[in-house]
Each structure stands twice: as structure tokens, then as C-alpha cells.
Chains A and B, each alone.
Chain A
Amino acid sequence: MLEIIIRLALLICSISMLGLIYRVIKGPSVADRVIALDAIGVNLIAITALTSVVLNSHAFLEIILLIGILAFIGTVAFAKYLEKGVIIERERNH
């Protein structure tokens, strides 16, 4: 029973990632694309966790934290680009 539910959850996560990829390509504004990319990162974490349950191994658990940190840094960089127009400033002006 658990096996079937986990495989169903993997399928649903994959389908939702396809929808998010459609939003990244089509998205009317840049903010839509950024949020879709962040959600793809979250879905990637879910798929990695479900895969590690299916394969019954704890080798992927560090990768989950890694994807989380990298997705966070990417989202922060995009947010700063949208807010200030520059990612790495030479000198702050305040």
C-alpha cells in the first residue's frame, strides 16, 4: 500500500514539475518565472526524498539539504535582481 502511494506521489510531483516548466517558458512576467523556478527546486527536493524512500537508502539525504541551499541562493539572487537591477554591488549606497 505504501509502495503504491509513494509511486503515485512521484508521478504527481513529476506532472506538477511539467506544469511548472510550462510556466517558466511561457510566464508573462519575470516574477512568474522566478516563482516557478523556486517551486521546481521544492519539487526536486520532494522527488529526491521519495526516491530515497523507494530505494530504501539514506545516501540521498545530504543531497536534499544541498538542493535546498542552492535553490535558496538562486531565489535570493533573482529577487535582488528584480528589486535592484544588479546582483553584486560594488559599494552599497546607504
Chain B
Amino acid sequence: MRNTNNIILETAVKVLLFFIALYSVYIFTAGHYYPGGGFIGGLMTAGAIVLLLITYDIKTVVGILPVNFRILTAIGLLFAIGTSAGSLIFDAPFLTHAFGDVHLPILGDLSLHTATLFDLGVYFVVVGVTMTIIQTIGEDE
């Protein structure tokens, strides 16, 4: 194959990657009242890492993100099961979530939910599973 020089893509991705990652965090936190949540946020993060994999190569991306995505999946499942089983301690049905209004110094009045922690678990599972699938497909030639 020709030895091509994709300088435009490499320069553009260096800027675009942060916007996509920021947008995935936004759509994850917006997920309680608006469209979004852990699943689509995780897919966006996986999309950002896939863009990095397309632009550079597997060796560079492993150097940038030394994360074992199988362990990330396990951590996510632990989060999801742990937060949903935590309601059993308070004698409530499985998957019951609690919320409360909290006043923080700078951020003001916030409504904090334990469902966000469950969603964080979903986020980790989606990122881990998607990246495991894509890396497994990409590695065999």
C-alpha cells in the first residue's frame, strides 16, 4: 500500500477529540431529565477512542490510554450491581434509588440521585464492551 500522510486528519482529531469527550460527559450528566444517559454517553466515549484508533494505531492508543477494557467492564458491573443491591440494606426493593436536595457552596442547590452511580456503572460497561469488541476485531489480520 501507498505510504500516505494524513496530516489533516491527525491535526483535526487533536482538537475534535476533546469536544467529543466533553459532549459525552455532558450527555451522561444530562441523562436524568433529558435524552441521554450512561448508555449513549459510553457509546460517545467509545466513538472518541475509535476515532483515535482510526487516526493513529493500536500501539499509540495503548500508550495513551493504558486501560484494560475487560477490567473496566467488570468495574462497571460491580458499580451497577452494588448500587442496585445497596437498597436491600435499607429494607427496600432491589433497584430502589434515593435522592435528596443538597446545597453546595459554588454549584448552588442540586438534586443528587443514587441512580447516577448506577448510570456510571452502565457507562463503564458500555465503554469496556465496545472497546473490547473493536480491539478484538482490529487486532486479527
Contacts and interface: CB of A to CB of B under 8 A. Distances in A.
B138 A65 contact: no
Contacts of A76: 9, 51, 54-55
Interface of B: 1-6, 9, 20, 23, 27, 30, 34-36, 40, 44, 47, 50-51, 53-60, 134, 137-139, 141
A85 B1 contact: yes
B141 to A, nearest CB: 7
A84 B1 contact: yes
B57 A89 contact: yes
Interface size class of chain A, counting residues whose CB lies under 8 Å from the partner chain = 20 to 34
B5 A94 contact: yes
B44 A62 contact: no
Contacts of B5: 94
Contact of A62 (B1, B34, B51): B34
A29 interface: no
A90 B4 contact: no
A59 B35 contact: yes
Most buried by B among A65, A84, A89: A89
Given A84-B4, A90-B141, A69 B44 contact: yes
Nearest to B59: A91
A90 B34 contact: no
Interface in A37-94: 59-60, 62-63, 65-66, 69-70, 73, 76-77, 80, 83-94
B47 A69 contact: yes
Contacts of B59: 90-91
Contacts of A83: 2, 4, 6
Nearest to A76: B54
B139 A73 contact: no
A57 to B, nearest CB: 10
A69 B54 CA distance: 14
A62 B28 CA distance: 12
A66 B27 contact: yes
Nearest to A65: B23
